[in-house]
Chain A
């Protein structure tokens, strides 16, 4: 099938960037979205032009590396789908697509569709860990965890850190990501030691980065390829206030 692509091209962080139009005369409907971009790049390389840079790694929907805005939606039109798992059969002959990078002050564009998501890493560094005793591994099932708690923590842990929540949010807020990371450890018995410090530090780091603030549009939940619930945002809000009122002077 024949497609027209409007792709954001930007030479580097200092470049102002522009939309460039590409005609794709022969796209196979069985291709994934990234394979379609590979095809575009092969053509560009043959013509001696600079290929379009985009992030990708596993191409099976679990790593969180890929992710672009497709027609104004993070990861494209399908719910619960990463860009690599979006297939061209969902488009029809003659469609015109707009492909842009995540837009966030906290995610500066590196090149074309590639953004720097290190702000997420800094949030994780601030508290995304648990303290454990060193030595041999503990026996399995040594620490009992109720089934519903384990399920809930696992739902939060499925976050792949792709940044779609920030990209889709009209405020560029990182509440869904941060709350998933805070909750996934904060719900489990192993994560209780640092529970209050964790929420304070991760939220403080989120706020130090250039993210916006939640206005409960619920766009993040709808765009999340893992379907992570905004319930975790509510839990983070609750834990954050509780952490402050439990120990108002704490500054660790």
Chain B
């Protein structure tokens, strides 16, 4: 194990860790978005789906155990992703102690330049989102065991919905650069799929964000009620 710790000291290894944990988190946001889309099928289907997540793996696993395994895995991925980003950011700041008087970037996209602050917005949102719809502590009318009610009544507040929309726009930019970037960090650039990397990143960035943003819009428009 000592070599693994030594390996992680390398910025190249930290980038690989960011790519792998990024894939895990990407898998989660896709699944989360697809699962939440069940709210269009009504309260019963949605609440049944939410309960189904708790009985996942039965009878091998007890009630809620699979969910906790997933949560611990995701928490680990989030911590490693942020810790690596933090350390690399400090390294990068040290690498250019004197700023240029004039600076003209050529290729850098808006998405690539906002990775760090976009990530901070997403983190703040995730904390709020957990307090809002998982723990219910910042939700005015939280009902344990009735997620459909919690989502719909929560998103009927336009300010809350606005934050959900802004955070998902940040997520779209983060995914647009991150999903492409992970191939680079892991060294996956074979000519047979190289040109598809950008398309992959664009499609999934838009898909995740559009799906997630449709929920608050649908609630505000009264389509989901």
Contact = CB atoms under 8 A, between A and B. Distances in A.
Interface in A171-208: 171-173, 203-204, 207
Contact of B185 (A6, A73, A216, A222): A216
Interface of A: 6, 8, 19, 69, 71-73, 98, 100, 103-106, 168, 170-173, 203-204, 207, 210-219, 221-223, 230-231, 233-241, 244, 248-249
A71 B100 CA distance: 10
Contacts of B184: 214, 216, 230, 233-234, 237
A73 B104 contact: yes
B135 interface: no
A204 B177 CA distance: 27
A140 B115 CA distance: 50
Interface residues of B, number: 42
A104 B95 contact: yes
B92 A103 contact: no
Interface of B: 3-4, 7, 10-16, 88, 91-92, 94-108, 112-113, 115, 177, 180-181, 183-189, 194
Given A235-B187, A241-B12, 20 more contacts: A69-B102, A71-B104, A100-B101, A100-B102, A103-B98, A103-B99, A170-B96, A173-B92, A173-B95, A203-B12, A210-B94, A212-B96, A213-B15, A214-B15, A215-B112, A223-B106, A236-B187, A237-B186, A248-B7, A249-B3
A71 B101 CA distance: 9
16 contacts: A105-B95, A105-B96, A170-B92, A170-B96, A172-B92, A203-B12, A212-B96, A214-B11, A215-B112, A215-B115, A217-B107, A234-B184, A237-B184, A241-B16, A241-B187, A244-B13
Contacts of A230: 184
A217 B79 CA distance: 24
B29 to A, nearest CB: 20
Given A236-B187, A237-B186, A237-B187, A213 B16 contact: no
A19 B98 CA distance: 13
B110 to A, nearest CB: 12
A212 B93 CA distance: 8
Given A217-B105, A217-B107, A171 B183 contact: no
B118 to A, nearest CB: 12
A104 B95 CA distance: 6
Contacts of A207: 10-12
Contacts of A244: 3, 7, 13
Contact of B92 (A73, A171, A218, A234): A171
Given A171-B92, A207-B10, A210-B95, A217 B3 contact: no
A18 to B, nearest CB: 10
Contact of A216 (B10, B96, B102, B180): B180
A240 B101 CA distance: 35
A100 B7 CA distance: 36
Contacts of B177: 216
B22 to A, nearest CB: 12
A230 B181 CA distance: 11
Nearest to B187: A238
**Which 5 A-B pairs have CB atoms at the shortest separation, nearest pair first?**
A238-B187, A212-B95, A72-B104, A172-B95, A171-B92
Given A6-B101, A73-B104, A241-B187, A215 B92 contact: yes
A235 B101 contact: no
B186 A219 contact: no
